[in-house]
Amino acid sequence: MKNIFKMIMVFIVSTSFLLGAGKVSGNSEHETPKWFKQSFLDITEDVAEATQNNKHLMLFIDLDGCPYCTKMLNESFAATNETSEYLKKYFDVINLNVKGSRELTWHGKTMSEKEFALELNIQYSPTILFLDENQKIVLKLNGYRTPAKFKQILEYVDGKHYKTLSLTEYMQNNTGDTKTSKAKKSSKNIQDLSKIETPIAIIFEEKNSQSCKFFNDVTLKNKDVKKEFEKFTVVRFDASSDEEFIGVDGKRTSPKEFVKSINLDYRPGVLLYDNKKLIATQDALLYSFHFKELLRYVSAKEYKYFDSYLAYLAVRQKELIEAGENIDISK
């Protein structure tokens, strides 16, 4: 499965010096809160200290200029709210940079932050790793989460529910009222997806989700996103529904069982298919430009020429800038 955030690390070009070229805006600088742990970056020692204090160690891995990192830091770490207070009480948090040069020790090996990111195939921005007392990664969280959802995830880790449940299962059990969101049950009332010949976009949503609200109120109203979506057959499901449908592969399932089978815990989760194959998955926040280009990566069959969405995005963004187009990556 080509997971979009498994391929994107917010490729950013801050400026261009070509005559008549466009520019990229929306880069955002951020600082980590002062209460983050000051560490010599010997992860084994940090885990031992956290365990001694009945805490989990969290590694918050960011990227300079990343708007998703800034948003999450401001909302869930820097702001004074239930989520940040819970963090301080039950977690030791260390900041790493996905392209950083500081040395750290990981399972007895010394490496740079950048080498660590490569070794663990970290390509999300931000990526958050949760470690248990044995220095095992019990959860790898990819991309931005709202404070409310992040608090649920923290409770999942702190309660050690990872020993018996996947995060998707835990979130399904703790969603509360999960009826279909206000944003329509489906764009097309299609029960057999295996018969669709066009590219397919399947959207899984849930009620009272801030991320779903933003997706519907902002992302889907963007004219460029709407234009790209016209090339897809778009089907929308309540992620908690037990109502059966036939998937692209011809197998009968339900939204609830399907998201569980692929561990899709983010809402809205978007799966993009072409020629009956899953090409990309959006399972974290993407602003309009990145989402629009993800759609184009699939509908224009760019995946045939680029190994990843990130490789495509690098070329595409340069192409647009050279053509004089201004790009805002922050809304």
Q: Does 210 have pLDDT greater than 80?
A: yes
- The pLDDT, as a whole number, for residue 74 is 96
- The pLDDT, as a whole number, for residue 173 is 86
Q: Does 240 have pLDDT greater than 60?
A: yes
The full DSSP string for 37-48 is PP---BHHHHHH
Kind of pairing between the strands at 137-142 and 200-205: unpaired
User: Within 13 Å and on the Cβ side, how many CA atoms surround 198?
Assistant: 12
- The pLDDT, as a whole number, for residue 20 is 59
Reduced to 3 states, what is the DSSP secondary structure of residue 257?
helix
189 & 142 share domain? no
Tokens found for residue 231: 């090339």
Q: Tens of pLDDT along 317-330?
A: 999 999 999 999 99
Q: Does 181 have pLDDT greater than 80?
A: no
67 & 149 share domain? yes
Select from 156, 149, 203 the least CA-distant residue to 175: 149
Q: For the chain, what is the mean pLDDT?
A: 89
Angle at 289 between CA 148 and CA 1, to 5 degrees: 70
Residue 18 lies in a domain: no
Q: Does 33 have pLDDT greater than 90?
A: yes
Residue 134 lies in a domain: yes
- The pLDDT, as a whole number, for residue 307 is 86
Q: How many domains does the chain have?
A: 2
Which of 164, 191, 223 is at the close of a domain? 164
Mean pLDDT of 202-219: 94
Q: From residue 83, how far is each of 80, 90, 94, 150, 175 by CA, in Å?
A: 8, 11, 17, 7, 17
Query: CATH no. for residue 248?
Result: 3.40.30.10
Q: Tens of pLDDT along 121-168?
A: 887 789 999 999 999 999 999 899 999 999 999 999 999 999 999 999
Residue type, 128: I
- The pLDDT, as a whole number, for residue 27 is 86
